[in-house]
């Protein structure tokens, strides 16, 4: 899975972003046996010629913390949840061959890179992260790493729960006051569907990312078939893994 919108340089440098599916198996140490997670992660990464030792995973807290990482954190969270980057939902790096990863099951994976391929980032964004400002933090942290116009950043919002399946109550709706919500009122008038992907895109635009640099994956994790979904599967849910990397050592 590549961004449709890519600079010449991103193709040359091999910026790769990907998201596993249900059939790739569980990717979260919190949701299954560690040896299976490691095997599943290895198998998925090998499809891209990548190795698990090069991966760094966010610990995930449904928060807004975004951290700048370098090679010292390589492998953190790759083989155990214990040393994942704690209390963090967004990762950013300027390093090559450092795979930044989050796990999701309905939440949005948000992939980011700039057209110079000097910076890549990824965020895990559920309704809490979006309501509290993870999009703003991700963009501000990336922009601070290398000062350049925001029009040179590209973003992809990956497979996540769609407005078709994301029904919320009035309390949660209040957290998104002032945003177009793509509300769908059912006949009973009680159900409201929230479009988290559209909300994220609007927040990205408000931070200065041009609309034409934002790509939204339309597939819904809950009803789109082969993707992990908490909403669909309840207590038995597993997670996918989403990653981004700029790989130099694999170039010929
Ligand atoms: Zn759906």
Express each pLDDT in 27-46 by its tens digit.
999 999 999 999 999 999 99
Q: What spacing in Å lies between the alpha carbon of 222 and ligand 1's midpoint?
A: 5
Query: What integer pLDDT is reported at residue 115 of this predicted model?
Result: 83
Looking at CATH, the fold of the domain delimited by 8-161+209-246 is given as: 3.60.140
pLDDT digits (tens, 9 = 90+) for 156-179: 999 999 989 998 887 888 888 777
Report the separation in Å between the CA atom of 163 and the middle of ligand 1, taken as the mean of its atom positions. 7
CA of 20 to the centre of ligand 1 (A): 18
- Cα of 177 from ligand 1 centre, angstroms: 23
Provide the pLDDT for residue 37: 98
Domain ranges of the chain: 8-161+209-246
Q: How far is the CA of 162 from the centre of ligand 1 (A)?
A: 5
Q: What is the DSSP string of the chain?
A: ---SS--HHHHHHTEEEEE--GGG----TTSS-HHHHHHHHHHHHHTTT--GGGEEEB---SS--EEEE-GGGTTTTTS-STTSBTT-SEEEE--TT-EEEEEESSSEEEEEEETTSS-EEEEEE-HHHHHHTHHHHHHHHHHHHS---GGGEEEEE-SB--TTT-EE-HHHHHTTTTS-------TTS--EE--HHHHHHHHHHHHT--GGGEEE---BTTTSSSS--HHHHGGG---EEEEEEE-STT--
Distance 118 CA to ligand 1 centre (A): 35
What's the confidence (pLDDT) of residue 249?
A: 60
Low-confidence ranges of the chain (pLDDT < 50): 1-2, 4-5, 252
pLDDT given at position 252: 41
Residue 243: predicted pLDDT: 96
* pLDDT at res. 117: 79
């Amino acid at each position: 899975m590549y961004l449709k919108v890519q600079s010449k340089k991103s193709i040359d440098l091999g910026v790769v972003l990907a998201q596993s599916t249900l059939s790739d198996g569980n990717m979260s140490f919190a949701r299954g046996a560690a040896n299976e997670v490691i095997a599943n992660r290895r198998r998925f990464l090998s499809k891209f010629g990548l190795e698990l030792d090069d991966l760094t995973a966010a610990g995930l807290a449904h928060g807004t913390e975004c951290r700048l990482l370098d090679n010292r954190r390589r492998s953190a969270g790759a083989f155990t949840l214990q040393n994942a980057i704690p209390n963090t939902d967004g990762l950013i790096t300027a390093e090559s061959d450092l795979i930044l990863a989050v796990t999701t099951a309905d939440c949005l994976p948000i992939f980011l890179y700039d057209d110079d391929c000097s910076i890549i980032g990824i965020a895990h964004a559920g309704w809490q992260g979006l309501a509290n400002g993870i999009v703003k933090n991700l963009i501000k942290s990336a922009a601070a790493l290398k000062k350049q116009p925001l029009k040179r950043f590209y973003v992809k919002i990956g497979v996540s729960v769609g407005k078709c399946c994301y029904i919320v109550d009035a309390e949660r709706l209040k957290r998104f006051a002032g945003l177009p919500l793509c509300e769908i009122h059912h006949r009973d008038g009680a159900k409201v569907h929230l479009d988290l992907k559209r909300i994220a895109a609007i927040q990205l635009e408000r931070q200065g990312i041009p609309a034409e640099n934002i790509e939204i994956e339309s597939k819904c994790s809950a009803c789109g078939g082969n993707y992990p979904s908490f909403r669909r599967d309840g207590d038995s849910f597993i997670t996918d893994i989403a990653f981004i990397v700029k790989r130099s050592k694999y170039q010929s």
